[in-house]
Amino acid sequence: MKVEAITLRELRMPLRHFFETSFGRTETRRVLLVTAHCDGVEGWAECVAGEGPFYSYEWIETAWCTIREFLAPLLIGKKITQGRECGGLMARVRGHHMAKAALENALWDAEARQKQQPLWRLLGGTRKEIACGVSIGIQSSHQQLLEKIETELAAGYQRIKIKVKPGWDLEVFRQIRERWPKILLSCDANSAYTTADFEHLRQFDEFYLQMIEQPLWEDDIVQHAKLQRELKTPVCLDECIRHVRDAELALELDACGMINIKVGRLGGFSQAIAVHDVCQQRGIPVWCGGMLESGIGRAHNVALSTLPNFRLPGDVSASKRYWAEDIVSPEIEVTAQGTIIVPDLAGTGYEIKKDLVEKLTVRKETVPTRVASA
Ligand code: OSB
Ligand code: MG
């Protein structure tokens, strides 16, 4: 496939409910979509960069201009037979993994469509059904959080993860455990604690959580290893794992008991698979993280979650939890058992609603400019 042009678009999609983490609140997603135009085939992907540089240094504006100025030009005009070749072509640009992932994944998507094969098979998946959990943000009150948990449990989700920060942690766990002593419960701090909080974090053990995700600094694996030695609860790393070498270091130091794989944070499907594989070799389970994706990124997460070492319920949940109307058809749906049945169709198995995408688009640009846009 020759990469002829890349189209960037920004969509505005209001969330049905705000999503709050220790680093801030999101009410409306600025969704960045990438289309790779290749020999009559289109590959689509979503760049998961946020509205501001809070989860990581990347945000929608850095991703947009890094793709336009540097990454797209490295791919345009190239003949590519497999999406996995993109990583090498873009290696000259340091970092900017979410921007790179959008391009690489768009080419995997194009490859699956061109070969008329399911993307999940191309990625090496084996599961026909994936296990789903939910990530529930910080709420305005404990009561509101308990109501949300009740709704998600009734919907069948297999694991509840709550966002925590100092002042929204122990008392919240106490109330949840009082009402639901047996559910699979975990938490995600998005780096809200420091080494001064070890004593405090040790109290989390009382609530037999499945994991405590990314309690400390986003760039510090060594301190997580020290913390893990102090805790019974497994640490799960998210922000810290940016490529396979980070995963290797974390496993070498016993810094965590599991890893959250996010394809955007890792720079594309190839690195996500590489991290999956080293964890598998070391007997460490992984699960698929979420970044409040539209149906396009979500469908890619579904495909990735079919790999064998995705042994824990992920943050990949139903479209309707986020959006009044998603941009794919059918929308991503979850069974009463808290699973997603993976479509055995060519590509992702979810069709893009192009008219709706057009309607939600607030900005669009094609590189190079002279080629007609999508
Ligand atoms: O740390 O997993 C995270 C959303 C934005 C940034 C970081 C994270 C999250 C989530 C959302 O937890 C999970 C979802 O998509 O439902
Ligand atoms: Mg996280």
* Residue matched to tokens 């009402």: 179
Ligand 1 lined by 238 (C-beta under 6 Å): yes
135 CA from centroid of ligand 2 (Å): 9
Q: What is the pLDDT of residues 222-272, one digit of tens each?
A: 999 999 999 999 999 999 999 999 999 999 999 999 999 999 999 999 999
Provide φ and ψ at 238, rounded to 5°: -120, -85
Ligand 1 lined by 357 (C-beta under 6 Å): no
137 CA from centroid of ligand 1 (Å): 9
Q: pLDDT tens for the chain, 374 residues: list them.
A: 999 999 999 999 999 999 999 999 999 999 999 999 999 999 999 999 999 999 999 999 999 999 999 999 999 999 999 999 999 999 999 999 999 999 999 999 999 999 999 999 999 999 999 999 999 999 999 999 999 999 999 999 999 999 999 999 999 999 999 999 999 999 999 999 999 999 999 999 999 999 999 999 999 999 999 999 999 999 999 999 999 999 999 999 999 999 999 999 999 999 999 999 999 999 999 999 999 999 999 999 999 999 999 999 999 999 999 999 999 999 999 999 999 999 999 999 999 999 999 999 999 999 998 655 55
- CB atoms near residue 95 (< 10 Å): 14
Percentages of the chain per state (helix, strand, coil), in multiples of 5: 35, 25, 40
CB neighbour class for 78 (10 Å; exposed up to 12, middle 13-18, buried from 19): middle
Please tell me whether the overall predicted TM-score, pTM, comes out greater than 0.95 for this model.
yes
Name the residue of 291, 316, 317, 319 to mutate for ligand 1: max ligand atoms within 8 A of Cβ: 291
248 CA from centroid of ligand 1 (Å): 23
Three-state secondary-structure class, residue 336: coil
d(C-alpha 23, C-alpha 46), whole Å: 22
Ligand 1 lined by 191 (C-beta under 6 Å): no
188 CA from centroid of ligand 1 (Å): 9
| Whether 218 contacts 165, CB under 8 Å | no
Residue located nearest, by CA, to atom 14 of ligand 1: 290
Q: For the chain, what is the largest distance between any 2 Cα atoms, rounded to a whole number of angstroms? A: 62
5 CA from centroid of ligand 2 (Å): 33
CA distances from 22 to 138, 172, 214, 257, 266 (A): 8, 15, 11, 22, 22
d(C-alpha 82, C-alpha 143), whole Å: 50
Name the residue of 13, 15, 18, 19 to mutate for ligand 1: max ligand atoms within 8 A of Cβ: 19
d(C-alpha 219, C-alpha 228), whole Å: 16
290 CA from centroid of ligand 1 (Å): 5
CB neighbour class for 28 (10 Å; exposed up to 12, middle 13-18, buried from 19): exposed
Residue located nearest, by CA, to atom 7 of ligand 1: 291
Ligand 1 lined by 292 (C-beta under 6 Å): yes
Ligand 1 lined by 138 (C-beta under 6 Å): no
The number of helix segments (H) and strand segments (E) in the chain equals: 14, 15
| Whether 56 contacts 98, CB under 8 Å | yes
Ligand 1 lined by 297 (C-beta under 6 Å): no
Q: Looking at the CA of 215, which ligand is closest?
A: 2
Q: What is the pLDDT of residues 279-329, one digit of tens each?
A: 999 999 999 999 999 999 999 999 999 999 999 999 999 999 999 999 999
| Whether 171 contacts 204, CB under 8 Å | no
| Whether 190 contacts 161, CB under 8 Å | no
Tell me whether residue 262 is one of the annotated catalytic residues. yes
Residue of 100, 161, 163, 165 with catalytic role: 163
Ligand 1 lined by 366 (C-beta under 6 Å): no
d(C-alpha 355, C-alpha 361), whole Å: 10
Residue 330 DSSP class = S
Tell me whether residue 359 is one of the annotated catalytic residues. no
Element holding 351 (H helix, E strand): strand 351-352
Full 3-state SS string of 35-89: EEEECCEEEEEEECCECCCCCCCCEHHHHHHHHHHHHHHHHCCCECCCHHHHHHH
Residue of 262, 320, 354, 359 with catalytic role: 262
Ligand 1 lined by 290 (C-beta under 6 Å): yes
